[in-house]
Amino acid sequence: MRWPATRVRKAPQGPAGDSHWVINGSHTAYLPGSVGIGTDTPQYRLEVLGTGRFADGVGIGTTHSPEDGMLKVQASPERSIAVNASTAGSGTSGRAVNAVASSANHFGLWAGGSGRSYFGHPVGIGTTQPQTDLHVMGTTAIGDFASDHRLGIGTDNPWTPLHVVANAGQGPMRLMVENNNAANTVMRAYAHGGIGIGNSWSDSAVPERGMRVHGKVVLSDLTWRGNVDAASVVCTTSFDGGANWLLERCGLNTSSLRYKEDVQPLQSVGELLDRMQPVSFRWKENGHEDLGLIAEEIARIEPRLVFHNEEGEIEGIKYNHLTALIIGAMQERQQSVDAEFAALREIHSAELATRDARIATLQHELEEQRQLLEQRLAAVESLLVEGKEMARAATP
């Protein structure tokens, strides 16, 4: 900085000759060379060895007062601010703080050789009024597909690209659309390990370490794993006519007696089945042909065979329960057949007994007739013998 010659006067001469300090009113300037404080061999325009104190702030690279803070830096593109942790070394490993500004208006901050940054107050990105410790307004990218970059929430050792650990009693995750309204929940993870999809239910409405889905589930392939037999999982499904099954209701069929009370045998189940009318139909949604039963008609026959949606409307049929009715009806039919067979056998046995008695009577009568005939034949033979003897005696 140069002032007009009329306003410039030199400071008093020092022991080495003319002073290079220039005094202009209340301003003092050193125009040529470098200034050292605590050193007589300064390597920079201003080099300080020792402590210093600035009461009103420091401005670097700017002619404006650092009214926004104690330190105000205006760096040109690709320039940086580096504060060394010690005088040993000038590389990045010796820096306590390193801030970099670039031509793309990016800003980076890291501390020490570990490459970690620390902030003791809320940080806003895209906003000057952060509401949380880190508040981002805009698109955020973490890592790339080619690198193993991970984000840990609640953990400093993430195992996967996104790893969330919640405190006991806290749900670890909730995804919502449109606005922060429970009705707009897409997916929610509960503290007991359950998952809700399509709605935000209470904790008790979602099975522990299980899943509840509001809406239809499209499955192109299904494989059961673990100790659950596929036969024990009961689902109400419909086929879309393509390659997918639509699951409308699915659950574990727990049939153990330890879950039941007031157990009574069903009566006249065959009559219930006889009143059910199988039909063919076409789905309104996709026009595909199908066959089955009408839930409203089944509800009039036996209300326990249908289930309802959240609005209380009849939604479908518990087809798995029909198995018990079919078994009962088959048993009733078998009992009826067995009874008819026993009656027929009794009738047949009576007829056989009557026939046997009649045969015995006829055999007895035939025996009597045979004996009578033998007696008569014997009498006739006796008369013939007597006649021959009489004829022989009458012959001279």
DSSP 296-364: HHHHHH-GGGEEE-TTS-EEEE-GGGHHHHHHHHHHHHHHHHHHHHHHHHHHHHHHHHHHHHHHHHHHH
For the ranges 14-28, 42-56, 125-139, which has the lowest average pLDDT?
A: 14-28
Which residue shows structure tokens 């760096």? 75
Tell me how many degrees the CA angle 374-379-381 measures, rounded to the nearest 5.
Answer: 95
pLDDT tops 90 at residue 106: no
- Each domain of the chain, given as residue ranges in start order, spans 1-45
CA quadruple 340, 345, 351, 356: dihedral, nearest 10: 180
pLDDT at position 181, please?
82
Which has the closest alpha carbon to 323: 222, 253, 250, 252? 253
Contact 48, 38 (CB under 8 A): yes
Rounded to whole angstroms, what are the CA distances from 76 to 21, 80, 125?
A: 29, 8, 21
**How far apart are the C-alpha atoms of 295 and 299, rounded to whole Å?**
6
What is the per-residue pLDDT across 266-282, written as a single tens digit (0 to 9) for each? 888 888 899 999 999 99
Average pLDDT over residues 185-192: 90
Q: Which of 174, 182, 173, 206 is nearest to 192 (CA)?
A: 206
- pLDDT of 59 over the 60 cut: yes
> Is the model more confident about 174 or about 251?
174
pLDDT score for 155: 86
The answer on pLDDT for 65 being more than 70 is: no
| pTM (two decimals) | 0.38
| Mean of per-residue pLDDT scores for the chain | 76
Backbone angles phi, psi at 228, to 5 degrees: -90, 125
Interval 233-248: pLDDT, tens: 555 555 544 444 555 5
Look at 43 and 22; give whichever has higher pLDDT.
43
CB atoms within 10 A of CB 10: 11
Residue 294 has pLDDT above 90, yes or no: yes
Residues 50-72 have a mean pLDDT of 68
Of the chain, the percentage scoring pLDDT greater than 70 comes to 69
355-386 core/surface letters (b: 16 or more CB in 10 A; e: else): eeeeeeeeeeeeeeeeeeeeeeeeeeeeeeee
Q: Which of 128-142, 161-175, 290-304, 311-325 has the highest mean pLDDT?
A: 290-304
- 237 bridge partner residues: 247
| pLDDT at position 279 | 95
Please tell me the predicted confidence (pLDDT) of residue 292.
92
Query: Looking at the predicted structure, is the pLDDT value of residue 4 above 60?
Result: no
Specify the pLDDT at position 81: 60
> Which band of pLDDT confidence, cut at 50, 70 and 90, is reported for residue 224?
low
Rounded Cα gap, residues 49 and 29, in angstroms = 20
Mean pLDDT of 124-132: 85
- The DSSP string of 98-159 is EEEE-TT--EEEEETTTTB---SS-EEES-SS-SSSEEE-S----S-TTS---EEES-SS-S
Q: How far apart are CA 139 and CA 124, in angstroms?
A: 13
Structure confidence at residue 210 as a pLDDT band (50, 70, 90):
confident
Tens digits of per-residue pLDDT, 313-357?
A: 888 888 888 888 999 989 988 888 889 889 998 898 888 889 889
Q: What is the mean pLDDT of residues 175-199?
A: 87
Counted residue by residue, the chain has a size of 396
Mean pLDDT of the 276-296 span: 91
User: Is there a contact between 292 and 279 (Cβ–Cβ < 8 Å)?
Assistant: yes
β-pairing, 35-37 vs 46-48, is: parallel
Read off the DSSP letter of residue 169: T
- Cβ neighbours, 10 Å, residue 101: 19
